Chains A and B, each alone.
Chain A
Amino acid sequence: MCKEFMLGNEAIARGAAEAGVRVVAGYPGTPATEIVDLCGGYPGVYAEWSANEKHAFEVATASSLTNQRSMAVMKHNGTNAAADFLMHVNFTGIRAGMVLVTADDPGGLSSQCEEDTRILVHNYAHLPMFDPSSVQEAYEMTKAAFELSEKTEVVFALRPVMRVNHAGGLVEHGELGAESRPAEFVIDRKRFVMSAVVEKESGGELRPKMRHRWLNAKQAELRAVMEASPFNSVEKAPGETGFIGCGIGYAFLKEAERIHGAKLPILKLSTLPLPEGKVLDFVRGLKRVVVFEEVEPVVENIIKQLCFEHKIVLEVLGRSGYLPKEGELSANLVLTAVEAALAGKPYPAPPQGQYVPARTRTQCSGCSHRGLLVALKEVVRGNGGVVTGDIGCHDAGTFEPMNLQATIYCMGSSIPMAYGIKKAGFDKPVYALIGDSTFFHNGLTGLASAIYNGADITVVIAYNSTTAMTGFQPHPGSANNLNQPVAPIEPGAVAAAMGAKVFRCNPYNVEETARVIAEATAETGVKVVVAEALCYLKFGREGRISYTPRQVAVDVAVCNGCGLCVRTFGCPAITLSDGKAVIEPSACNGCGVCVSVCKRGAIK
């Protein structure tokens, strides 16, 4: 045993390495991102960035079938991308221990939504899940998940939330050195060929129904596993009101208990399926329980059903109405709820806060996206066009001051959204703005669909050679893969091969970019504009930038303080002071884009 300070994601990687994981595949997405890179640092572990989460899941499953322990890593909405495969692997089961890490982001701190993957993975796919309450537990659960997965032949999911992934704490851990095992792929078509074929030995039933029966029968075994699990426990104390903490909810509950200053009856529930025996023991004799979980009332509803089946009269309070239904829990929220519940009162309405000016997000000063956004805006303001957006650093162009993209949903939706607008009869030009990583993730099929369906749109690919938003992971369009040099797949070449008309420009040159986009717009069919420039923040550190740096300054004699450079452009290095624009030299990275933004020529 050794004690070390670790981030939650480091602890998960450590647990996996100690459990003998051999293949780890994922797609970057905060809060899970670091796990893949960290796993790749352990000897004997193959780690990869897959083009999307479904492929990561498929690679990991195939490794498990080949007798090697494996792990697929993604964030909550990435699990949606993998859902198609998830709904098959639950029926087939797996061979060597396999873990799905699906990191949730309650509060949507760095996401487009705050969905709760327990519904998809447990309620829907009927797979077991661990919900860690601390960094230490994230480590222990990862190890346990591999063992249990192998024993029960089902994928185990670990569902850390942001507050676990990105918390740091002391972790007591063990040694590396799991034995390597032979890579054997044993063909078993009855399990691993999921197809509607008739099974002779079961009286002619169809295979999907047989495997469904297998999955349902597994649930009893999984419940027994969870009943025995040390991750669920009871803390006794007198009182008629009990408190249930799930995952990080337990940590906040313990904190609230400390501030409250008196011992509370607490049930810690960190697994799905629930340990029904433990739950029933805990609730018998209580009048009410309050369930603290992120985010949906998943455990709360299961407990209600359980009490109904066992004819137990119990008030079960939680996320279904007593507590706020949206957003993160916190120690203060839990404390308020504990004190209200003990007093038999409703959860009090939160006091109206005092607005403190927000810090909205934007691109770095020196980022090429700003030039691209400004050029695209110039074109659409002229022709009344609409821009559909996608995920990436450029998506901040949706907000003040750029106000450009009209829609943002999920990875890859910009292209089908764009041609959907056209197919609905919109007669002005429509543009889809997408990044390179997203293009490979889920843009390729959308582009194929657009071309196949005779769309008339302009797709703009911001090709900066990295997945910048999550911390610069590579993708098929990057010239490296986990630090190994590779030949990049150039998005323009792919689009051309698919049949799109391809145009190219350097987004640092606003005039050129606007001209190229306008040229592309004039053509009919699916046009692709590849705006290629390296991500300033990543490659600038390596001394590689896609522009010739220049010193810019505002000529105060020419500047009339119109504010265009601030109000519609928004480089963080430019502010207005005493009616004139000011460029802060320490914040400016000399990209020169602002020079073409000031129509008076005041920036030189």
Chain B
Amino acid sequence: MKFDLVIAGVGGQGNILASQVVAKCAMDAGYNVVNTETKGAAQRGGSVLSHVRIADGEIFSPLVPAGQADVLLGFEPLEALRYIGLLSKKGTFIINTAPVPTILANLKVDEYPSTEQIVAVIREKGLAGHFLNATRAAKELGNVLLTNVVMLGAFTAVSNILPPDVVLKKLLTMVDEKFHADDSRAFAVGRGLIGKEG
């Protein structure tokens, strides 16, 4: 058994917490786990990619090789596009469609592609997956910071490597008790988004 997960996002979106939850659950289940984060030379708001590698045997490279990821969680559409090459042809993506503009795009040095363009480029590659607006869902729940929990919930709906209740329980052990109710709701909403996206 080998399962490779990559989470692409922007610093501050909470993707590192999400990757730690998955890694810890896998460890509890007795798997071998190797993970790492690759951050661009960024203070805050830079591109952050988390790699989580799970196997029942040896794992060598801490980085998921291109074309090997079983699941790509894109917390931000441009970052998902940046790392889409990591996803296996047989893999699944879940991409949050709410963009976080780049500084250079704000300066008009770069052009930030439209969500339609990003969706088209990814669809063209013949990859399977889900586009959903996790940020909007989190906002509707009252806090954008719940985006990562929505995404984590969605993850458990596409991959059966870890039971959803185990993932949620682990998440709750890692956050302050006062967020438990919100996190549980966001997790359920995330699970529910899969299959319903337009």
Contact = CB atoms under 8 A, between A and B. Distances in A.
Interface string A72-97: 00000000000000000000000000
A359 B46 contact: yes
Contacts of A110: 39, 41
Interface in B67-102: 67-68, 78, 81-82, 101-102
How big is chain A's contact interface, by range? 35 or more
B112 interface: yes
A362 B102 contact: no
Interface in B1-54: 10, 23-24, 27, 32-47
Contacts of A566: 106-107
A167 to B, nearest CB: 4
A357 B113 contact: yes
A170 B33 contact: yes
Contacts of A361: 40-43, 46
B72 to A, nearest CB: 14
Interface in A76-131: 109-110
Nearest to A568: B107
A168 B110 CA distance: 35
B103 interface: yes
Which of the listed residues A5, A356, A572 has the most CB atoms from chain B within 10 Å of its own CB?
A356
A400 B62 contact: no
B42 A255 contact: no
B112 A254 contact: no
B120 interface: no
A534 to B, nearest CB: 16
Contacts of B161: none
Contacts of A537: 44
Contacts of A166: 36-37
A167 B78 CA distance: 25
A241 B62 CA distance: 26
Which of the listed residues A135, A166, A361, A469 has the most CB atoms from chain B within 10 Å of its own CB?
A361
How big is chain B's contact interface, by range? 35 or more
A252 B65 CA distance: 9
A332 B66 CA distance: 6
Nearest to A250: B60
Contacts of A133: 60
Nearest to B113: A357
A68 interface: no
B43 A169 contact: no
Interface string A129-140: 000011100000
A400 B104 contact: yes
A363 B107 contact: no
B15 to A, nearest CB: 14
Interface of B: 10, 23-24, 27, 32-47, 58-63, 65-68, 78, 81-82, 101-107, 109-113, 144
21 contacts: A134-B60, A163-B63, A166-B36, A167-B35, A168-B33, A168-B35, A168-B36, A169-B32, A169-B33, A252-B60, A254-B60, A259-B65, A330-B63, A331-B63, A331-B68, A357-B102, A357-B111, A359-B46, A393-B43, A400-B104, A566-B107
Given A167-B62, A469-B43, 8 more contacts: A251-B60, A332-B67, A357-B105, A358-B110, A359-B42, A360-B103, A360-B104, A364-B44
